[in-house]
Structure 1
Amino acid sequence: MPANNPTDDESSPLLPRPSPTLQTQTRPAESAMASSAIFWKVAAISGATAVGFGAFGAHGLKKRIADPARLASWGTAAQYQLIHSVALLMASGNPLAASLFTAGMTMFSGSIYALTLNPEKFKFLGPVTPIGGVCLIAGWLVLAFGKKGGPPKFPRF
């Protein structure tokens, strides 16, 4: 049986605690810049996928779906995603508006894409589409009536 070590009692932490002098605290400005940089990247990726989905809808989807209304829905989803990707770029310094745009694009366009591909399988997503639309509208209203900070400050990478 090993000798009892006073540091091996059950009350000692599993991981060593960092010394207070080594801890760094994130300042609000640094946190806002990190958030802004994340939304900027999300917006850029969303814009790229919107262009890709739009091209797929205009060319590849026509081979799989004959219904013009479903094809038009796909085009609407891609258009709204692209427009709101640009809005998200502009709102990347406003975390509330940026979050609403991100949620709105995901729910609005994402549900339409899924419903266009397989309406029966994804029927449960029908109510998600208008919720996403409300998020998009709310994002615009937050920009209109929220804190007025002048033109957007774009993140530096």
Structure 2
Amino acid sequence: MYKNLTIIALLGAITIILGAFGAHTFKAQLSPSAFDSFETAVRYQMYHVLVLLAINLHNGFSEQFKRKSTYIFMIGILFFSGSIYAIQLVNVPAKYIWPITPLGGTILIVGWFQLFYEFLKKARGK
């Protein structure tokens, strides 16, 4: 459990650092649409860090479920937010990694449906 929480805490700190750099440095360097994309990446990263924190602190989930959910959401964050960071901050041409962003979004959706299914099972007493 603490391994996941340690990684999640670090991911949360990185999110705040990126947000601060965005507000104070990147905003002046990026076009308005590029900055909007960057902000979306930071916002989605933080949403999912908070979800990961909640999942990993919830006593009603098995360690296996916590581990699986953590992997799914972290891969989703990496693909979704990471690809946007790569495009906006490192100038990786979008044409080279364009399918990674929606794939990351899809993986995040899978994580949410997995969470939904787990809650549904618990609501049915399974």
Identity of paired residues, percent? Answer: 36
Match of 1:125 in 2: 97
Match of 2:51 in 1: 87
Which residue type is aligned with residue 143 of structure 1?
L
After superposition, give the CA deviation of every residue in 1:5-27 in whole Å (9 maximum; x if it has no partner).
Answer: xxxxxxxxxxxxxxxxxxxxxxx
CA distance in 2, matches of 1:63, 1:84: 27
2:27 maps to 1:55? no
CA distance in 1, matches of 2:20, 2:41: 12
State the TM-score, normalizing by the size of structure 2: 0.80
Match of 1:136 in 2: 108
Match of 2:36 in 1: 72
> Greater CA radius of gyration, 1 or 2?
1
Which residue type is aligned with residue 76 of structure 1?
T
**Structure 2 residues without counterparts, runs of 5 or longer:** 57-62
Match of 2:60 in 1: none
After superposition, give the CA deviation of every residue in 1:74-96 in whole Å (9 maximum; x if it has no partner).
Answer: 00000000110011112234222
Higher helix share: 2
Deviates most, 110-119 or 125-134 = 110-119
CA distance in 1, matches of 2:32, 2:94: 19
Give how far 1:60 is off: 0.4
Cα RMSD after superposing both structures: 2.0
| 8 Å contact from structure 2 (residues 86, 92) kept in 1 | no
CA distance in 2, matches of 1:149, 1:130: 30
Give how far 1:98 is off: 1.4
**Structure 1 residues without counterparts, runs of 5 or longer:** 1-35, 151-157
Runs of 4+ in 1 over 3 A off after TM superposition: 118-123, 147-150
Give how far 1:118 is off: 4.2
Q: Aligned pair count?
A: 114
State the TM-score, normalizing by the size of structure 1: 0.66
